[in-house]
A and B are shown apart, each in its own frame.
Chain A
Amino acid sequence: MINVAWLVPLLPFIAFAINGLFGRAYLKKTTGLVANAGVLGALVVTVLLFLAQGGHPEPETVTLWTWAASGDLTVNLDLRVDALTLVMLLVVTSVSFMVHVYSIGYMAHDPGFWRFFTYLPLFVFAMIMLVMANNLLVLFVFWEAVGLCSYLLIGFWFERRSASAAAVKAFLTNRIGDVGFLIGLILVWHVFGTLDYDEIFAQAPAVASAMPGMLTIICLTLFVGAMGKSAQFPLHVWLPDAMEGPTPVSALIHAATMVTAGVYMVARFNPLYVFSADAMIVVALVGAFTALFAATIGLAQNDIKRVLAYSTVSQLGLMFMALGVGAFTAAIFHLATHAFFKGLLFLGSGSVIHGTDEEQDMQRMGGLFGKMRVTGTTYIIGGLALSGIIPLAGFWSKDELLGATLLAGGAGYLLFAMGALASLLTAVYTFRMIFLTFFGSTRMEADRFSHVHESPAVMTIPLLILAVGALFAGFVGVPPEHGLIHDYLHDTFLAAEAAGLMHAPSTAFVVTLMAISTVIAVFGILIAFSIYLRKRPAPETIGGAAPFIHALLVNKYYLDDLYDLVVAGGTRSIGWLLAWFDLNVVDGLVNLVGVVVSLAGNGLRRFQTGRLENYAFSVALGTALVLAFYIFMVR
């Protein structure tokens, strides 16, 4: 079956190639079907592959060709199929297909339809290759490729200044992360002498004992790359701005798949990370802090997509927190459930935007449920899953990763506190969003409200399917710690078990934790209900009670402004200074030499008849002198 694995990336790539070459002139609207066919093909092959590989797939690889061989550096373009890859492939191809179907409706009236359906399968291709990579370099190649697709799709409506700005910001912020990734990658090669996963992992214990400091540096530099791609503090700033892209893009790339690449990478490199306690605690703390930090911002945003964006940053933070305590399975489990319910929420927000004629400000919505029952219902399901209400998908995975922090002990208690608080805030902002959007009396103008409509079936059916995922996907992880997914990924994360990072919780622990999680989520929903629906206390009075904190949250802690001023402004100022220096000092000196020489030439002119002879004479004389110097003085 491994021999047909290349079909998975190839089919979306063919769709991309067909649409890219013929989309504008010939295919036009047909590009939507071509893209859907390609992605559906990838999904089908993935499912077949999954079934064929059985319950405990051994890692298999197939070499396509040698990318580069220089001295002792050999990099092959390999494809890898193992349990972790298959889990990722299932998530990526299924959510991708839902988003592709939905986009036919969402993008129907866009003049860039063909362009959209060229970029989108290209992304799917690159994302598939990313998770099928078998060495760090190929991973990096497609890490960049998905970043490119993200750039193209964020800036899709390129006549908008804000879209282009957001696209460039995303690319550059990711590049900062990439510097870390690239340094880590090159260090891996110098330390391990290879870039292939299995060869690296095999040497990990030896390297860990021989040079533990270097291993930590490698883990941390790679993690910097993950922080860029998965929008972790302080490199998170690009993701909320990325909402400038069409909403299906936000659902697919900026919620369900690409942004989880960082989580995937750390999980994939678990055999390295488990040997560096320092790196692990950094991963956990960055994750937990980001989870809490982004959740607070999410409380105060009014743009429906931005709330979801900060929510995504926050949820990714929880996944890193889990990775950092060695709960790799829990992180991947949450990655998978999150892909379904966050994809659902984003597509739902798109349906709202579509049905309200491009309204994104929740302060100008309200009472939409009656007009959009399918969207509203599925949105609430997604919201319940995100908040962690039993037995929806988000509950099981979030519960498990919170439990893992407690089991880790030590700093784990702090992590648990941060994670639990983030979960509480998650429930608050999620239901703030739901109440502001769908319930209460509408704040729309009457004539606009009368035009609000439910989206067409091509959009609502994907919502329904994803809602089924959000309802039931969690059961792959039930019972906690012993579900299907735990069994399936067991061998992938053996290193964590060997390192003593796996803890078997008692039944009492599991049940108590489930109760605590539920209380947290319900409490959060009640807070939102009280403030945003019953207006007791009214939202304004809360903001008014602490205007400073309110301003801080609304302005995202002023981090974007700080970056603009210091990083962008600073770089430009240095560039400006150097450009001046180059023109006036470096080039000035060159011209000064020219002037001096020509003045000297003028002085000598009376001894010469013309410039050519002058020139030839001095060349000959000079050559002779220097030559004499070489021959007689230098041996």
Chain B
Amino acid sequence: MESLPILSLVLWLPLAAAVIVILLQDRRAMFGVAVLGAALSLLLSVAVWAAFEPGAGMQFQESFAWLPALGIQYALGVDGISLLMVLLNTFLFFLCIIYAWATVNDRVKEYLVTMLLLEVGITGVFLALDFVLFYVFWELMLIPMYVLIGVWGGERRVYATIKFVLYTLFGSLLMLVAILALYFVHGNSTGTYTFDILQLTQGTYGEVFQLWAFVAFFLAFAIKVPMVPFHTWLPDAHVEAPTTGSVILAGILLKMGGYGFIRFSLPLFPDASQLAQTAVLTLSVIAIIYGALVALMQTDLKKLIAYSSVSHMGFVTLGIFSFTQQGLDGAMMQMFSHGLVTGALFLCVGQLYERTHDRLIANLGGLAHRWPVFAALFLYFSLASIGLPGLSGFVGEFMALVGAFATGVRVFGVLAVFGIILSAAYMLWMYWRVMLGSLKEAHRRLEDLSVLETAVLVALALVVIWAGVQPQAFIQIFTADTSGVMQAVNAAQVAGLVPK
């Protein structure tokens, strides 16, 4: 395995598939190649998982000089934290492209190329071990996302894409500045000018610099997560995005924010993180409660799920900024679960929309009569989203709460627990109005899920229950690495909330 650049293969295989797709004309052939590319990428990332040694730090590293004069290299590697995200990513892309086979008929070639490029960009973010490479992928992935919503999106897609792109661009430009500053500050103090993430993470930085840089990184990640009050791009983007766009957006894009906090903010700026802890925990609890309350009153299904994402991602930041082992592990599990569950919910809403051409809750009702298979799966994922124990959603929420209670201020944990009532309220109320009661006349003739659609949802459902019944299978991937992050941030000079 040493000689095979397996991570590069995981990363670039979708690009190769995209290039071939450009050369093809036949719809089946194009999909065949795209599915194959995504499948190989998934299989290889599973192979990485199989050969992965938990707790052995960065593995499968590849690096060669790119612009040596500037200390820029092409460097890839995985630890448990990035591995889980890569697995989630390749899995969701594989399913999305299969799902698209059944549903996308408009500009197939462009669609597939866009999706495959998006996969490259996102995988790159999680694999990069060089800040310049990381930043390139971080921005690169914006372009296909922009195209995806802008071309295949709904009526107000132009407004939504511009808002999405400008908002995220604003955040990431600040991050770029902070990256450059990090490069110079580190270079000035050590004499080694490098963008190597691992090397930069080893360094220590002054408190004032940490604070400025933390704020810049924070904005980039907080917008991605998104944290309240930086979240308003998300509902608009979701409503206008095509189904698979929403799946990728909610499933993986948001995770880049949480990943950024764990990978960069905490280890690079421990003092600043400690100083910001109270503020970030406050914002997290607000996100949990506020997102849920706003979700309760949404009339559009996609907006409802978008706001539920705001609420659920609040548990991610809550866990991360508890600076405890359980909190960080909970955040990881919550990201993983949210990716699967919310991805599945957006698929469900997409299937609903394709049949009824309606997403307004008030116009639906009684659909369980016609679609028993869909009804069962939609309920399943709704319950997973509510955090029903036994399914994946509970694990992350629970562990994040355990972490939150460990901070000296228990009120964060206590308030966050109340989020579980609200999430049940908006989901079950939604399900009731959409699926139960009496069927509308116009929906009497609609068909239940096709085999392909069912298969995609069942694949997600199996992982959801696996992660709920035996979360340890996933926790053991990353817990040693999050432990390192926790130790790094708790080695800070500044005391946080957790009593030492």
Residues of A bordering B, CB below 8 Å? 24, 65-73, 137, 140-142, 144-145, 148, 151, 155, 158-159, 161, 164-165, 167-168, 171-172, 175-176, 178-179, 182-183, 186-187, 189-190, 571-572, 574-576, 578-579, 582, 586-587, 590, 594, 619, 622-623, 626-627, 630-631, 634-635
Q: How far is the CB of B462 from chain A (nearest CB, A)?
A: 13
Residues of A within 8 A of B232 (CB): 582, 586-587, 590
Residues of A within 8 A of B167 (CB): 590
Bound Cα distance from A141 to B398, whole angstroms:
11
Quick check: A176 and B209 within 8 Å, CB to CB?
no
B116 at the interface (CB under 8 A from A): no
B425 at the interface (CB under 8 A from A): yes
Quick check: A172 and B424 within 8 Å, CB to CB?
yes
Quick check: B401 and A158 within 8 Å, CB to CB?
no
Quick check: A178 and B472 within 8 Å, CB to CB?
no
Q: How far is the CB of A346 from chain B (nearest CB, A)?
A: 25
> A74 — nearest CB in chain B belongs to which residue?
B472
Instruction: Give the 3 A-B residue pairs with the shortest CB-CB distance, closest first.
Output: A71-B325, A630-B181, A141-B389
Residues of B within 8 A of A590 (CB): 163, 167, 232-233
Bound Cα distance from A165 to B431, whole angstroms:
11
> B401 — nearest CB in chain A belongs to which residue?
A186
Interface locus among B33-41, B288-296, B449-457: B288-296
Number of A-B contacts (CB under 8 A): 169
Q: Given A634-B209, A634-B212, verify A70-B326 contact (CB < 8 Å).
A: yes
Between-chain CB contacts (< 8 Å), 21 pairs? A69-B472, A71-B479, A148-B383, A155-B436, A161-B437, A178-B421, A179-B418, A182-B417, A183-B417, A571-B425, A575-B293, A575-B294, A579-B293, A582-B294, A594-B166, A627-B181, A630-B178, A630-B185, A631-B181, A631-B185, A635-B185
What is the interface residue range for chain B against chain A? 35 or more
Quick check: A189 and B402 within 8 Å, CB to CB?
yes
B57 at the interface (CB under 8 A from A): no
Q: How far is the CB of A390 from chain B (nearest CB, A)?
A: 44
Residues of B within 8 A of A71 (CB): 324-326, 329, 479, 483
Provide the B420-454 mask, 1 if CB < 8 A to any CB of A, else 0.
11101100110010011110000000000000000
Residues of A within 8 A of B389 (CB): 140-142, 144-145
Residues of A within 8 A of B297 (CB): 572, 575-576, 578-579
Q: How far is the CB of B230 from chain A (nearest CB, A)?
A: 9
CB contact between A634 and one of B208, B406, B438 (< 8 Å): that residue: B208
Residues of A within 8 A of B432 (CB): 164-165, 167-168
Residues of B within 8 A of A158 (CB): 368, 435-437
Does more than half of chain B's interface fall in helix, strand or loop, or is it mixed? helix
Bound Cα distance from A169 to B429, whole angstroms:
10
Quick check: A635 and B324 within 8 Å, CB to CB?
no
Bound Cα distance from A179 to B413, whole angstroms:
11
Bound Cα distance from A70 to B420, whole angstroms:
22
Residues of B within 8 A of A167 (CB): 428, 432
Residues of A within 8 A of B176 (CB): 623
Provide the B323-337 mask, 1 if CB < 8 A to any CB of A, else 0.
011100110000000
CB contact between B229 and one of A137, A179, A190, A586 (< 8 Å): that residue: A586
Quick check: B209 and A68 within 8 Å, CB to CB?
no
Residues of B within 8 A of A582 (CB): 232, 290, 294
Bound Cα distance from A187 to B471, whole angstroms:
22
Quick check: A186 and B413 within 8 Å, CB to CB?
yes
Does more than half of chain A's interface fall in helix, strand or loop, or is it mixed? helix
Residue of A72, A140, A175, A623 with highest tally of chain B CB at under 10 A = A175
B49 at the interface (CB under 8 A from A): no
Bound Cα distance from A434 to B422, whole angstroms:
42
Q: How far is the CB of A612 from chain B (nearest CB, A)?
A: 14
Quick check: A572 and B296 within 8 Å, CB to CB?
yes
Q: How far is the CB of B388 from chain A (nearest CB, A)?
A: 6
> A144 — nearest CB in chain B belongs to which residue?
B389
Bound Cα distance from A172 to B167, whole angstroms:
37
Q: Given A65-B472, A71-B324, A594-B163, verify A182-B293 contact (CB < 8 Å).
A: no
Residues of A within 8 A of B475 (CB): 68-70
Bound Cα distance from A66 to B368, whole angstroms:
37
Bound Cα distance from A70 to B334, whole angstroms:
14
Bound Cα distance from A594 to B424, whole angstroms:
36
Q: How far is the CB of B136 from chain A (nearest CB, A)?
A: 16
> A587 — nearest CB in chain B belongs to which residue?
B232
> B181 — nearest CB in chain A belongs to which residue?
A630
Bound Cα distance from A630 to B389, whole angstroms:
47
Q: How far is the CB of A112 from chain B (nearest CB, A)?
A: 10
